[in-house]
Amino acid sequence: MSNLLEIKNLRKSYGDKVVLQDVSFNVPSGAIVGFIGNNGAGKSTTFKAVLELIHKESGTVKLFGKENLNKEVKLKEKIGVVFDAINLPSNLTIKQLGKVFVKVFDSWDQNEFERLVDIFALPRNKKVGSFSRGMSMKISIAVALSHNAQLLILDEATGGLDPSSREMVLDELGNFVKKDGCGIVLSSHIMSDIERIATHLVIINEGKITLNEEKDKVFEKYAFVDLDNDQLTLLNQDIIIAQRKHGALFTVLVSDKEKLPSGIVAQTITMEEISVFLTGSE
């Protein structure tokens, strides 16, 4: 599987505050990467660095195998972006947006845009600035899906959607990624969305990647174990992903429950639990 996006050792700081520290992960073709982290963990900053909206300090970002997005303008045709707010010209209607984007994108597909506007039940003659958050997200997603992009970068794109709209959006994203050579990186706080559509999980905490793994592997092999100090010393260090202390006991996330010493009981994990565990402090 080729990588649509490759991020290697990405670093960014504002003054003394390091906001991204050696961030590395890939978005392979055919994958939906769930990018998880608390507010301020570095998700949006990572996306901004990928899109060259901010200047990275070090590290490399390759999109479709190429660096320097601002000079490889044609690559941007292949990238659909949705930020956590509408970010479209607020004074324009959907009708006008269609006319604008047909002039901006060589690959603009007006029929696909019309189809998405219809299924998302969006009003064509209302200014997008007056849209609710849910409607704003839907029109932003419709735009991102209407120029034959191969990579979608979605920052909290499912936030603010009602359950039925979320279903529709997730279905569309699922259909998108089935197309040849397409992939998605999706940040979200809604773990059910990630659990439903992601193929890979990347968790970021305080600017550092704490987990980068295929989702199926996580649910198949990863486990939580509660251990005392003596049991902890018996544990193979290579399988320890993270640990937290609760009084005299440690809760440890291990990457291979098969390698646990006998007698230690592995607990099954949920998306919510793993997210909370890896995005918390310690």
Partner 1 sequence: MKGLIYTNFSLIRKVILVYMLIGIGIAVVMLNVIGSEALSLSMVMVCIVIITPVWEAIKVEALSGYNKYVLTLPVTRRTVIQSYYVFFFLIVMIGIILFVSVLYVHGLFSMISIDFSLYRSITLAILAMLTMGGIIFPLIFMLGEEKSDFILFLSLGFMALIVNLVRVGVEHFIEQPPLLKFNLDLLIHVPFIYILISILIFLLSYVTSLAIYRKKEF
Binding site for partner 1 (CB under 8 A): 48, 51-55, 70-71, 73-74, 76-77, 79, 81, 83, 85-92, 96, 99-101, 103-106, 129
Nearer to partner 1 (CB atom), residue 54 or residue 122: 54
In the beta sheet, which residues pair with residue 8?
A: 60
User: Minimum distance between the CB of residue 88 and partner 1, rounded to whole angstroms?
Assistant: 6
User: Minimum distance between the CB of residue 165 and partner 1, rounded to whole angstroms?
Assistant: 21
User: Minimum distance between the CB of residue 223 and partner 1, rounded to whole angstroms?
Assistant: 40
CA 174 to chain centre: 14
Nearer to partner 1 (CB atom), residue 31 or residue 149: 149
What residues contact residue 210 under an 8 Å CB cut-off, 6+ apart?
203, 204, 241, 242, 278, 279
Query: Contact at 8 Å (CB) between 43 and 227?
Result: no
Query: Contact at 8 Å (CB) between 22 and 10?
Result: yes
User: Minimum distance between the CB of residue 89 and partner 1, rounded to whole angstroms?
Assistant: 5
Helix (H, G, I), strand (E, B) or coil at 220: helix
Please give the Cα distance from 46 to 259 (Å, whole number).
34
Nearer to partner 1 (CB atom), residue 87 or residue 231: 87
Nearer to partner 1 (CB atom), residue 85 or residue 266: 85
